[in-house]
Chains A and B, each alone.
Chain A
């Protein structure tokens, strides 16, 4: 690699990091909330991926370990500028979160005893309960394919809520059992 190529690669990596930093800074919620911004920045403005590629990254990001937005950033960065590109795009994405959350957490800790804050969080907990309940409902509607899957979802719920089974075992068991059941069904068909 000559000096000029080296220079342009460095610039590309910096651009990746900066672009994903902006995305981390301007989206709330991650996951699908980030898709419109990714389409504008990564597909339309930078041309780092096509629309179809981006949706592929998303689909794979959902079915692989970790945060979907992180997985997408790693994909784009890796395909543009290799391993280092993947790492730097991802670091850029999470940097705003780290800075903002640490600031807020430090400030909140100073006021934990304030009565107003206590009541405010009392209300906020109800809102989070409602939001999470609704998210679970949507996940269940989209993710439960048939009656057996419904039974399995209930089993997983009970395992976590009442029997304190580690989520790790539930994930592994789901993967293995899913393979077993589907394999059996395909053989019978």
Chain B
């Protein structure tokens, strides 16, 4: 199948099943990283970083970036259009019977576990990428020395960042990303 057709199908699927906004598209992007040669799991983290540091909804930015990696400029455009197509139809349908949707028991019951699932899904999707960025999995496999397993500078930075993000929730992510880029260059991460 041509790459463009696959991009259309994959992003249409993402647009239809990613519920809960931009972050909810990450599990689907991760599946693409595994199934196609478009981008690697590490690329995915870079894409998230660029998408958080540039204007526009994060989910749209990630789709454009992923589509670009899959099929160049045209790939980026059709990925984004495919992602928003299901939304447009779903919203237009809902808009015509808005009240009933808001009060629908089926929707409310479904969301009891769907909301919980969203957190689990995103955590599961980024789990091994986070592990890769904080631990030297490959070095440890080669040497089998436990101390080699920990990427100390990265772990220290991670702990510091989590502390700062909790302490200053109003500070925009772009500030943390920019500061970490500088630290990465200084400490050769």
Contacts known (A123-B184, A152-B116, A156-B120); A102 close to B64, Cβ less than 8 A: yes
The number of chain A residues with a CB under 8 A from chain B is 96
Q: Chain A nearest CB: distance from B66 CB in Å? A: 10
B177 pairs with A178, CB closer than 8 A: no
Is A17 in contact with chain B by the CB < 8 A criterion?
A: no
Question: Which residues of A are found within 8 Å of B34, using beta-carbon distances?
Answer: 164
How many positions in chain B have a CB within 8 Å of any CB in the partner chain? 104
Question: Which A residues between 133 and 185 are near B, CB-CB below 8 angstroms?
Answer: 133-136, 139-140, 142-145, 149-150, 152-161, 164, 166-168, 170-172, 174-179, 181-183
Q: Does B7 contact A (CB under 8 A)?
A: no
Query: Is A149's CB under 8 angstroms from B91's CB?
Result: no
- Contact code string A100-119 (vs B, CB < 8 Å = 1, else 0): 11101110100000001001
**In contact, A67 and B121 (Cβ under 8 angstroms):** no
A137 to chain B, nearest CB (A): 8
Any A CB within 8 A of the CB of B6: no
Option from B15, B92, B125 in Cβ contact (under 8 Å) with A83: B92
User: Smallest CB–CB gap between B185 and chain A, Å?
Assistant: 5
Q: Is B8 at the interface (CB under 8 A from chain A)?
A: no
**Would you call A150 and B116 a contact (CB within 8 A)?**
yes
Known A30-B59, A135-B23: A152·B113 in contact at CB below 8 Å: yes
Are A149 and B61 neighbours in the complex by a CB distance under 8 Å? Answer: no
Bound complex: CA A168 to CA B12 (Å): 12
**B174 and A102 contact, CB distance less than 8 A:** no
Q: How distant is the Cα of A126 from the Cα of B151 in the complex, in angstroms?
A: 11
- Chain A residues contacting B184 (CB-CB under 8 Å) are 119-124, 126
Q: A60-B98, A121-B49, A167-B28 are in contact. Are A94 and B157 (CB under 8 A)?
A: no
Known: A27-B55, A171-B17. A123 touches B87 (CB 8 A): no
Which residues of B lie under 8 Å from residue A104 when comparing CB positions? 50, 54
Residues of chain B lying within 8 A (CB to CB) of residue A121: 46, 49, 181, 184
Interface residues of B in 22-57 (CB under 8 A from A): 22-23, 25-28, 30-31, 34, 42, 45-46, 48-57
Q: In the bound complex, do residue B162 and residue A130 qualify as a contact, i.e. CB atoms below 8 Å apart? A: yes
Q: Which residue of B lies closest to A108 (CB)?
A: B50
Give complex CA distance A61, B174 in Å: 25
Identify which of B23, B106, B114, B117 gathers the most chain A CB atoms within 10 Å of its CB: B117
Chain B interfacial positions (CB closer than 8 Å to A)? 13, 15-23, 25-28, 30-31, 34, 42, 45-46, 48-61, 64-65, 68-69, 73, 76-77, 80, 83-84, 86-88, 90-92, 94-95, 98, 101-102, 106-130, 133-134, 154, 157-158, 161-162, 165-166, 172-174, 176-177, 179-185, 187-189
Question: Nearest 10 A-B pairs (CB), nearest first?
Answer: A123-B184, A30-B57, A160-B124, A66-B87, A156-B120, A122-B189, A97-B56, A178-B113, A143-B115, A127-B180
Could you tell me which A residues sit within 8 Å of B by CB distance?
A: 24-31, 34, 56, 59-71, 74-75, 78-79, 83, 86-87, 90, 93-94, 96-98, 100-102, 104-106, 108, 116, 119-136, 139-140, 142-145, 149-150, 152-161, 164, 166-168, 170-172, 174-179, 181-183
Can you list 16 pairs linking A and B with CB atoms under 8 Å apart? A29-B172, A31-B21, A64-B90, A65-B19, A65-B90, A101-B65, A106-B68, A121-B181, A126-B184, A127-B176, A128-B45, A157-B121, A160-B30, A167-B125, A171-B121, A178-B111
Q: A102-B77, A129-B129 are in contact. List 4 more A-B contacts (CB 8 A).
A: A60-B101, A65-B19, A125-B45, A161-B123
